Each structure stands twice: as C-alpha cells, then as structure tokens.
Amino acid sequence: MTNKLKSYKWFLDALSPHESHVHGIDSIVCEKQTRFQKVEILDTFSYGRCLVLDGKMQSSEVDEFVYHEALVHPAMLTHPDPKRVFIVGGGEGATLREVLRYPSVEMALMVDIDQEVVELSRQYLPTWSAGAFDDPRTALKYLDARRFLEETNETYDIIIIDISEPVEEGPAYLLYTKEFYALVMDRLSPDGLISLQAGTTSYNNLLNFGAVYQTLKQSFPIVSGYQAIIPSFGLPWGFAVASKRFDPRDVDPKEADRRIKERVPGELKYYDGGTHQSQFVLSKPVRREIEKQEQVIEDNQPLFTYN
C-alpha cells in the first residue's frame, strides 16, 4: 500500500523561511481582505474548519480547545477570585467562552480591532464562541486595545492577550512590546495576572518566544513560560503568564484539580491538574535558550515573525 499525496488544494502555513505545515483543503468557506488583515476560513481534511489570518493558522475545529483552554485557565485558576477580565483580540470568541465558564466573572470586556473577523467568526465558526457573545456579562468593543488601555483608568483581575503573531504591517506587533506590557501592568488589580500566546517553542525557532519572555521580565516580577501541543499549528506552541504576585507553578496538580472542580462547571476537555503541572516544565534546551536571549521588544525595535 502506498501513501501518495492526493491532488487537493493545499494551504501552506509557513512556519519559518525553511519550514511549512501543509493542509489539504476540502473547500474555501470564506476569503476576505479586511482593513487590517486577510481572513480565510477553510474546511480542511485533517483539522476540519480552520481560521487563517494573514496566512497563519489561528485555530481549528479539531484542536481549538487545546489552545484556548491552555491560554485561559492557568491565569484564571491561579488568581484567587477573578471578577473583571479584559480580553485583547480573541475574534473567534473561544477565549471569551472559556473565561465565562467561571461564575465568579462579573464582567468580560473583549476589545478586538477587526470587527469583520468577529462577524465572520460568528457566522462561520459559531461553535467557537458557543453563545459567549450573547452572555450578559460580555462587553464587546471594536477598538485599538492599546489605545483603549492608555485612555482608561479601569483595572482588571485578568488580562488575556489573544492576538496573532507580530507580522510586519499586521495589526498586532505593537501589542508585544515593553511599552505595552508596562501599560498592561498598570491596568492590573493588585492580584492581577496576564496570559498570552508567545510563539513556537520549537528548538530551532525560539526567537519570538525568548524575546517575549525577556520583554515580559522588564515589567513583571513573575513570568512563567509554558507550552502546549496543538497539532494543527505544526510545532509545539508557547504561552506565558506574568503577574504581580502569584506564580502558577506554585499550584500543584491536586490543588489545580480542586480549583477546577470548585470554580468551573462542566468538564474541561484538555486542562486538568496534571496538564497544569506538566506544561510549565520546559525542556532543558528551551530553558537555556530563552534565558540567554537578549532581545527586548520595544516600540521602536519591534520583532516580526516570518510571513
């Protein structure tokens, strides 16, 4: 029996100048250029329906729960009682969905610059948000999140930054800088934490993850990098939690399971105490590389990933 490549249409997700993940496309559901980025919604054979922004895979029907649970729950479970949550980006609505699983949350403000991404997601990816946009605790604004934070004096218990990678001329690169993280620090309550995706943790491509890690350390006393395996991304993926006071690594598996049972109705598909503990154990070469990384991302010295 031979395994020959079939003559599908293909989506090539470029991971670096020398490496790509190729997805066989069943159909193109939607393709549109917004004011800010190119949006594609594709039905693929391996991962079902997928959202692609500026040629980069954002989430897939098969494994979006891994990404969104990994992004949201470490910070939410580490905070003693999160009530006010600010989401930067998160156009699909799945980050909002996971935040609103917590009955303690009184208000979740989601600010995304690209209204068309949100509207297309509501139309073509409804299971991602699962009704979260209609929850009475949700406030949704279509604004520049950085400008909004600069102009408000409100503070938040959790700030989750769910944005695409810093592609040159894309909408996200100024949300990865030292100046932005200092602003986020100022908008956190005393017990506050932030959570964000930080690029791949693949050994051969650690520049983005290492630079984000070192940039966060310029503003926050506690920075905890971690990773999750998201198959549709093609590479292991990195995240970070940064905080003023609490370290998620201090929450052991039994305590994490206790908090999940106490705080989160229903069952999480990916996240539990064992996952919480294991994802913060980065491999030796990853730890070594990010600790010796010297680049700090600044407004006038941005970092761009490969596009």
Structure tokens at 74: 């470490």
Q: How far apart are the first and last CA of the chain?
A: 37
Neighbouring residues of 208: CB distance < 8 A, sequence distance ≥ 6: 165, 166, 198, 199, 200, 303, 305
Helix, strand, or coil (residue 100):
coil
Is residue 252 flagged as an active site residue?
A: no
Q: Beginning with the edge strand found earlier in the chain, give each strand of the sheet holding 19-33 in spatial order.
A: 9-16, 19-33, 38-44, 48-53, 56-60
Q: Is residue 10 within 8 Å of 29, Cβ to Cβ?
A: no
Q: Is 227 within 8 Å of 237 (Cβ atoms)?
A: yes
Structure tokens that stand for 266 in this block: 């229903």
Q: Rounded to 5 degrees, what angle do the CA atoms 241, 249, 72 make? A: 40
Catalytic residue among 54, 63, 114, 162: 162
H/E segment holding residue 119: helix 115-124
Which residues contact residue 230 at a Cβ distance below 8 angstroms, ignoring those fewer than 6 apart? 63, 66, 67, 70, 237
Residues known to be catalytic: 162
